[in-house]
């Protein structure tokens, strides 16, 4: 699935401020969590403080056969790796633990794999579409088995 293939009705729906807000914490050196509107990730603004390109927009990721929209730029996709996926019993919500090593300065040794993200995505089924949309995307420290998996992934990347 591609963002460009979504019907305009879906894009209009997702850009509604009060219905599809996103709780986000970009992590690392961020001091605060905040909420954003999905339109920041779905369309380029008419005017912006700094130039943006299509690569700064979101795009679908397919994770274990689930089409998923995360609030991350397309340019990060090659650096995002699934650590763990927990689907709800009714398949309406996904909880994901992820590693996004796009900011390479933070990932120079395997032990740096402790920096991860947790995402919660709810199923969107409207206008003939069926995908998962993140409503929560936060920095998280990976521990236990999740950390071990992340260390293995990062060691392969650095190797």
Q: How far apart are the first and last CA of the chain?
A: 32
State the residue for tokens 């729906």.
13
pLDDT tens across 91-149, in order? 999 999 999 877 777 788 888 888 889 999 999 999 999 999 998 888 888 999 999 99
Domain extent, residue 77, equals 3-158
The answer to whether residues 68 and 61 touch, using CB atoms and an 8 Å cutoff, is yes
Instruction: Kindly report which listed range (3-7, 53-57, 91-95, 128-132) carries the lowest average pLDDT score.
Output: 53-57
Per-residue confidence band for 48, with pLDDT thresholds at 50, 70 and 90: low
- pTM for this predicted structure: 0.86
Among the listed residues 122, 116, 155, the one whose alpha carbon sits nearest the alpha carbon of residue 136? 122
Say if residues 115 and 142 touch (Cβ distance below 8 Å): yes
CB 134 within 8 A of CB 121: yes
For the segment 33-45, the average pLDDT, to the nearest whole number, is 71
Give the number of domains in the chain: 1
Q: Classify strands 93-100 and 115-124 as parallel, antiparallel or unpaired.
A: antiparallel
């Amino acid at each position: 699935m591609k963002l460009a293939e979504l019907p305009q009705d879906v894009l209009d729906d997702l850009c509604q401020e009060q219905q599809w807000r996103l709780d986000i914490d970009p992590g690392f050196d961020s001091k605060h969590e905040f909420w954003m509107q999905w339109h920041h990730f779905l369309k380029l603004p008419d005017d912006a403080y700094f130039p943006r390109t299509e690569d700064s927009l979101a795009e679908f990721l397919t994770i274990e056969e689930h089409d998923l929209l995360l609030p991350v730029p397309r340019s990060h996709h090659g650096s995002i790796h699934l650590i763990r996926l927990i689907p709800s019993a009714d398949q309406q919500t996904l909880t994901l633990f992820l590693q996004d090593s796009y900011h390479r300065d933070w990932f120079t040794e395997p032990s740096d794999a402790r920096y991860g993200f947790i995402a919660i995505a709810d199923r969107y089924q409207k206008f003939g579409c069926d995908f998962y949309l993140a409503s929560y995307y936060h920095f998280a420290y990976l521990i236990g088995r999740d950390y071990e998996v992340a260390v293995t992934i990062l060691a392969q990347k650095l190797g």
